[in-house]
Amino acid sequence: MPVFDFNNTSEQTEMVQSECTYTVFYSDETEATPEKPMLVLDNKERQWKHHSCGYFTNPGKRTSFEFKEDEGVFCTDILKIDARFVSLLKWLGENHINVRLSGENQEDGYAVYRIREIAFGGGTKLSAEDGFLQFMIGRLLASNAPAQEQEDEDAVEDGDEMKLTSIQSITDFMNCAGKTLPDNIRLWARRNLAVARSHEVSQEERRHAQRALSIMMNIQWKSNYFAPIDPDEARKILDEELYGMERVKQRIIETIIQINRTHTLPAYGLLLVGPAGTGKSQIAYAVARILKLPWTTLDMSSINDPEQLTGSSRIYANAKPGIIMEAFSAAGESNLVFIINELDKASAGKGNGNPADVLLTLLDNLGFTDNYMECMVPTVGVYPIATANDKDQISAPLMSRFAVIELPDYTPEEKKVIFSRFALPKVLKRMGLKEQECVISEAGLEAVVEKYADTTGIRDLEQAAEHIAANALYQIEVDHVKSVVFDRDMVRELLS
């Protein structure tokens, strides 16, 4: 359980040995009452008034509340706190906010069901006065309880959430990281750190340098070594994601075996070409799962200017990194799967130049330079997977960077299997229906496939499954039937 460390402490409290007195309970109640309070205070030695004033003080040492009574100041332990209010009480204590509690003395303690902000004795006043506190309490009561965490006294503090933002933390990190950083990034960081500390440059330049350092240092720069991957596990993931397409699966397994032999990524990424709805994106996500890498998506149809990818120069006040650099930052590491959607739409080049040309250096795995970062970042751990509907719209230089896999459309027989074994059961499970409650006959199944014979992919089949399952649920709930069997005529009428 995390403890709080408040600044306003008395010498007497400092003498007390550290002791966390409260436990956390989890509640989803939308209204606080004496029976379902926000917190409970110890009242064994003294019964507290219905309305009592004071402030939360030093819970890091004693997890307590100081009551200001006519006879003086009395300190009592906090016994229980609703998990939703732990952070709020910490904030009230850190800011030494004077509050008035409304509570009721019960056998297990003083049950607090209302907290109001007040001002007396020079106490700090909230910016929005009591309105903000009541707004915050209302929001917390309307929230679900946070997930319960298992306490482990032997657990090691996880530093993954630590972000390097201040100049001091960045400096300390660089000193500790040493030569574990790539050489060019280490030299780049030293130059930018000098700029961030300098008083001979403008404040804007210092701000940009610090921002760039924070982005670069928060990325874990890994080597291009890849541990072996189990081909059987890879095949299992592919079978879960798509039906049939044995040639496609074979090509991906070949790539996995190549990685196992060389311990490096292939020289070429994958370009998945096929009609809409054939599962190109699903394959890309499956490969990311197999490689156990974070993934990011790049939608080329929405990019009309190369600067969106390369970032803008720091000479501009509103300069920022490009989408590619932001993807590294979001992933938190240099090894990732880059999923480039609709690569054939990139050649349109509606802005100043062709955005697709920017991808060439990324795809060559020789390094990528962002205009804002002003540094070449290594891309040897980047595995690009692109999708496209029409490969004829992709330029020859781009095509030469990929191993092309063409995905054929599904046959009618494959669509029948996908609908009956995958699409419909998935929808039924989501709606809480049993398989025997929504049955489709063989003739009805053929009617579904015939309906969408002229459309590519399986998205229409998935929508048909949603429609049929929803109709079955309607009949079960409204007409009180036990099950619904859809024949050819019912399917045709429902999907017309």
Query: What would the pLDDT profile of 371-404 be if each residue is shown by its tens digit?
Result: 999 999 988 899 999 999 888 888 888 899 999 9
Range with the poorest average pLDDT among 161-175, 293-307, 332-346, 382-396? 161-175
The CA distance from 459 to 449, in Å, is 12
Per-residue model confidence (pLDDT) at position 347 = 57
Is residue 121's pLDDT more than 90?
A: no
Per-residue model confidence (pLDDT) at position 365 = 79
Q: Are 339 and 301 in contact (CB under 8 A)?
A: no
Per-residue model confidence (pLDDT) at position 371 = 93
Q: What is the mean pLDDT of residues 163-184?
A: 85
User: For residues 17, 20, 22 and 25, what is the CA-based torsion angle, rounded to 10 degrees?
Assistant: 180
Q: Are 82 and 38 in contact (CB under 8 A)?
A: yes
pLDDT band at 346 (very low <50, low <70, confident <90, very high): confident
Per-residue model confidence (pLDDT) at position 10 = 41
**Which CATH number, 2.60.40.290, 3.40.50.300, 3.40.718.10, 3.40.50.10710, labels domain 231-406?**
3.40.50.300
Q: What is the mean pLDDT of residues 181-200?
A: 92
CA 470 to chain centre: 31
pLDDT band at 418 (very low <50, low <70, confident <90, very high): confident
Per-residue model confidence (pLDDT) at position 161 = 52
Is residue 188's pLDDT more than 60?
A: yes
Nearest C-alpha neighbor of 395 from the set 339, 349, 337, 350: 349
Per-residue model confidence (pLDDT) at position 15 = 40
Per-residue model confidence (pLDDT) at position 351 = 53
Is residue 16's pLDDT more than 70?
A: no
Is residue 448's pLDDT more than 80?
A: yes
Per-residue model confidence (pLDDT) at position 149 = 61
The CA distance from 237 to 284, in Å, is 12
Q: Is 167 exposed, middle or buried (0-12, 13-18, 19+ CB in 10 A)?
A: middle
Is residue 114's pLDDT more than 90?
A: yes
Beta bridge partners of 65: 56, 76
Q: Are 249 and 237 in contact (CB under 8 A)?
A: no
The CA distance from 8 to 481, in Å, is 67
Query: What would the pLDDT profile of 233-243 be if each residue is shown by its tens digit?
Result: 999 998 888 78
Residue with more model confidence, 302 or 148: 302
CB-based burial, 455-489: b 16+ in 10 Å, e otherwise: eebbebbbebbbebbebbbebbeeeeeeebebebe
Q: What is the mean pLDDT of residues 270-282?
A: 86
Q: Are 424 and 491 in contact (CB under 8 A)?
A: no
Q: Tokens for 144?
A: 């679900």
Long-range contacts of 194-198 (CB under 8 A, 24+ apart): 196/167, 196/170, 197/167
Residue with more model confidence, 70 or 32: 32
pLDDT band at 120 (very low <50, low <70, confident <90, very high): low
The CA distance from 36 to 50, in Å, is 16
pLDDT band at 244 (very low <50, low <70, confident <90, very high): confident
Is residue 39's pLDDT more than 90?
A: yes
What percent of the chain stands above pLDDT 70? 88
Average pLDDT, the chain: 84
pLDDT band at 198 (very low <50, low <70, confident <90, very high): very high
pLDDT band at 306 (very low <50, low <70, confident <90, very high): confident
Query: What would the pLDDT profile of 201-226 be if each residue is shown by its tens digit?
Result: 999 999 999 999 999 998 888 888 88
Per-residue model confidence (pLDDT) at position 151 = 52
Per-residue model confidence (pLDDT) at position 326 = 92
Is residue 158's pLDDT more than 70?
A: no
Per-residue model confidence (pLDDT) at position 300 = 87
**The amino acid at 145:** A
For the full predicted model, state whether its pTM sits above 0.95.
no
Is residue 126's pLDDT more than 60?
A: no
Q: Going by CATH, does the domain composed of 412-495 fall within 1.10.645.10?
A: no
Q: Are 449 and 411 in contact (CB under 8 A)?
A: no
Is residue 145's pLDDT more than 50?
A: yes
pLDDT band at 246 (very low <50, low <70, confident <90, very high): confident
Is residue 254's pLDDT more than 80?
A: yes
Residue with more model confidence, 91 or 377: 377
Give domain limits for the chain.
11-142, 167-217, 231-406, 412-495
Q: What is the mean pLDDT of residues 183-210?
A: 93
Q: Tokens for 490?
A: 């019912």
